A and B are shown apart, each in its own frame.
Chain A
Amino acid sequence: MMPFYPVAKITDINPGERKIVTIKTIEIGLFNVEGKFYAIHNYCPHMGAPICSGFINRTVNSNSPGNYIYGEKLVIRCPWHRWEFDLESGECLIDTYKRIKTFELSIQDEWIYCKL
């Protein structure tokens, strides 16, 4: 069974903020978005960018030219080539064979624990 590592206190990451931590040489980005914490590997599978410095947005979709549907899923967008990844699953929106590794989190006694 893989262990959980304490990585931050919940008060370290305010709503809308992020923190990069390192566990056993693996850089992991912790995000506090809309009342929930997320953890993803700080590595874009496309070109190796430090993806955790990218944009956090919701998706933009459309039914027809000029029509915009905002907000179905939370995504992190790579700071280099702007590829979009589902923050929850790590899946790339346009190529589901590419994904960012995501990590399970547990919160106990004001601490965030990350499972490797």
Chain B
Amino acid sequence: MKKIDCDVHVRWKSTDELSPYLSEPWLTRLKQGYILYGHNGYPNPDGTYKMDSFPPDGASPGSDPFYTAQDLLDRYDIEKAILIGESSHLAVSNLANADWAAALSSAYNDWFINRWFSADNRYFGSIIVATQDPVKAAQEIERVGNHPQFVQVSLGSGSRLPYGNRYFYPIYEAAEKMKLPVAIHPFTDGAGIANPPSPAGYPTYYIEYHTLATTSMQTHLVSMICEGVFQKFPNLKLVLVEGGIGWLPPFLWRLDKNWKGLRREVPWVKQKPSEIVSKHVRLTTQPLDEPENRKHLHQLMDMMPSDDMLLFSSDYPHWDFDNPEKIFRHFSEKLREKIFYENAAKLYGF
């Protein structure tokens, strides 16, 4: 079965790989080891990577385009991979210095093109933008958005404001103009200048941080719906990456119910939120929920607003990788085809 993997993480072997894409004064800062991202403070105590994903030369997993192609794309018959960078790339939006962040995000995007896209035409990517200056972010989207292998704009979940706020309009305007979905990826919450990783503050352990990734997804999603982002930008699509899927149906029941009584407060929300989500929002599947009773996963699929919403992702080369040969085996052939390929192909225009 053909597959599109909608969440593949890549990084550099050394920050020297960024040097060709930075000019002064930033190049000197890079060489002096200046801060590259705000750290979220929640490392996996056993490391981030699946242990068999190290390239033969011992470099970091996901740092060798040719090895990733062999170890992921060839091995699992993946036709296209949507590269997201690492959370540390996305956490460029959590640096205090907006100009350094904008310069770094441009360097990342040029690095994607030259290091990854040129290595294998199965690689597609996500434009990294620094949200501290949304106008500069929009300029960056327009600068590289015409490259045929950039297929979306990516934001980290860590933010100082929920993403429905009008502050972010320039980013959505540019993304819509360039016909690029906007993706939100978790694990930058609490990093640098971002807000804490949960509304109640800072948890203690990585297991808490990882589990709570759903909460910032919910915050951004309810914000984008209620602030009318999809009314203002009717062709905009949103992809929630690696933020879980199981929470969505009951979350929409709650929001739909509230909308029936509180619609008047947000009159630009003219459709039920679940209908807006069905039209505008897609979710990647990894880490797929694993209820002990298999029937519950089927019931969850039945509760989703539509079969068009889910996009397969492996999260290669991270420790919580979903093996495409093992997941969805009990789903119908038709649903598997949609999740593994058709939904993503339609979204990204493949």
Contacts and interface: CB of A to CB of B under 8 A. Distances in A.
B29 interface: no
B30 to A, nearest CB: 39
B268 A67 contact: yes
B166 A94 contact: no
Interface in A53-67: 59-67
Contacts, number: 42
Contact of A61 (B166, B232, B262, B267): B267
B227 interface: yes
Interface residues of A, number: 20
B259 interface: yes
Interface stretch (A6-14, A22-30, A32-40, A77-85): A77-85
B143 interface: no
B259 A94 contact: yes
A82 B90 CA distance: 41
Contacts of B270: 62
A62 B260 contact: no
Contact of A81 (B231, B232, B260, B264): B260
B228 interface: yes
A65 B227 CA distance: 7
Interface in B254-301: 259-264, 267-268, 270, 272
B267 A60 contact: yes
Given A64-B228, A69-B267, A94-B260, 17 more contacts: A62-B267, A63-B268, A64-B231, A64-B232, A65-B232, A66-B268, A68-B267, A77-B264, A81-B261, A82-B261, A82-B264, A83-B260, A83-B261, A84-B263, A84-B264, A93-B263, A94-B259
Interface of B: 166, 227-229, 231-232, 259-264, 267-268, 270, 272
